[in-house]
Structure 1
């Protein structure tokens, strides 16, 4: 697996306008490439850093980092602390006797906010249990972040060459948290069974505060919580280990949970493509007016099934566009031949794409109904995310009718990048 790196966000020449709102910031109001609203579709005109909604009957909040126009700027105004601050808020509102479980891929030496919050929670009587990648997940000895990391009582460092569960060559790449009890923003009473999933790493580089990232938090869904809790327990135990964690042939099947609010699919998977399977399961019928937007840092040859799925949607009439920073020549050629535009986000040569997002608006097979779906998680379109280490692909609840806030917020986030002065048209392998 090609392990993630990060670069520092430097060289933004223009002044960054900072606006902090309850729901939105930036107000670029620009549409994406050639986008024409289809039947029942409402264009999104405001950049979104936080979107509160309901998915499948459960309160859900999406958060987005945009370091080019930060909603919550860091001290140098070149980083967005939106997701970091929300994780700190969730941790700080966990009461004594409750349990926090989490796993992370990367923690930089100077990023202390989240590990410090975990130490505070532990000190007030909450149980804190974390598993971390054995490479990027452990700060250097003597660093500020390490001083807090070392204070955590219940921590497991996974192998540096595999995942926590996966026995294959790769990394513990999942980013997920569960909170047995914490608060919803603006409320004092605690809420049970909270799940956080996302692309965000605890760094100041492109994979963290310095890049485009996203997260989803689902409240009070006990069944979803139980699945993610058990998954995190498996990661913490590092036993049993699996070369193929997603397996539908077992009784009971292993490696996935389906729900109207959020469904989760766990790598490694050796016999299919988790992403293509999910798109197929939604039985989309491409037609004029269909819209597909993708933000993912990696498109590799080994995941050509994903690329081909986008080509099929495009050939069927969908308006497809992709933001990516690393793409193999073969996959660039496939997308280019289909007429799918591609852009990268770069500042002074440094990559800025770390979301793992897809948003689809299309007609459902066998009906005249149109629907909206957001796919997220920590899953790159690379070999490592599918067959290598630990990773998750998340399908949020389907939206329909005139209200589709999750789709709208992802569309706005995509447009923030696509219309940015730091967006670069890709002309080959990148």
Structure 2
């Protein structure tokens, strides 16, 4: 099965699970408060359904348009825009007849379920799979540091000891902290054994984003090719496993992480490699994707990871903590969407699909599903009419002021929100198509 098909199946399965659970978050409290639910749908049933069956007062079905799902609650202004029903006198079983606090719980149900689902999945991952972390012992040669950060005082070979005075459980988190957290200083141990606490500028994260340096600290790897991919330019040009690259386009190479700095991904490159104590010169041009097909995974240095096992109790606390950090970090990075560069990187279903691995891996599948669940929770609570957050915004206004927005206003707000969502969906998926064509 092709990687595209594997990713597509994982995406559909993941979204199906999350959509059904999200809608159950609305459905269950609605039923508890004796509110009639007319439809419960996975995907949208524009014109027709792939499947539907009425059980009691609710029609359960599967639509053909996989852009989400919905529950149609009686007496609620939603995407169905059922004006005929809203023109009738309110009935006791309708949403609009219920107290504001009950309506608020119904509307918050989907987001709440998404948060809980994300946390529960993370708990399960920690309990069944544990967690792989990187410690300084796993990095024999320390970090290779991006040129942008060397001006602050960091050096190739540094080991990260503390961030803002606190040790990191996983030293690879230093990149995430720099990008999303308020990092004031980092204590490092240089390759010569000396330690130094280096001040970090306030705009470090912004500079990382602008310069496409999202991982300024990468594990130091020797420039020894321990993996070659068949049918790629490097293998065809004569590279062999074990070759050590010593020069790229006339620039000396000390470690693998430097190679990207000196290669030209649009033209032929000159590599000098050391093989059996002799120097060989190899000319090679990357493929259309800018890839040569060689890799150093650090096998020669025995780069590794430390596996952390979790008991049931530890996995519960760890899952909640890990999920909370994911949510906080996602909220913090959302600010970059409102920049010119950030807007061009917004992705749709293609970008989401690429979060999944090429080959089926249940651990990766559930980890990605948990991430998407957290993202869906945040996106749905945004105060945009037509989203849960829009309804919540108007309900909070009603609870605080004691005045309910009139139905005509809600209809117009719903229409505006719907068009905003359609525009965002088209823009995000348009970005995917553009990257696919010209990326």
- Measured against the shorter chain, the TM-score band is under 0.3
Q: Which structure has the larger Rg over C-alpha atoms? A: 2
Q: Which has the higher strand share?
A: 1
Structure 2 length normalisation: TM-score?
Answer: 0.23
Larger helix percent: 2
What's the TM-score once normalised by structure 1's chain length?
A: 0.23
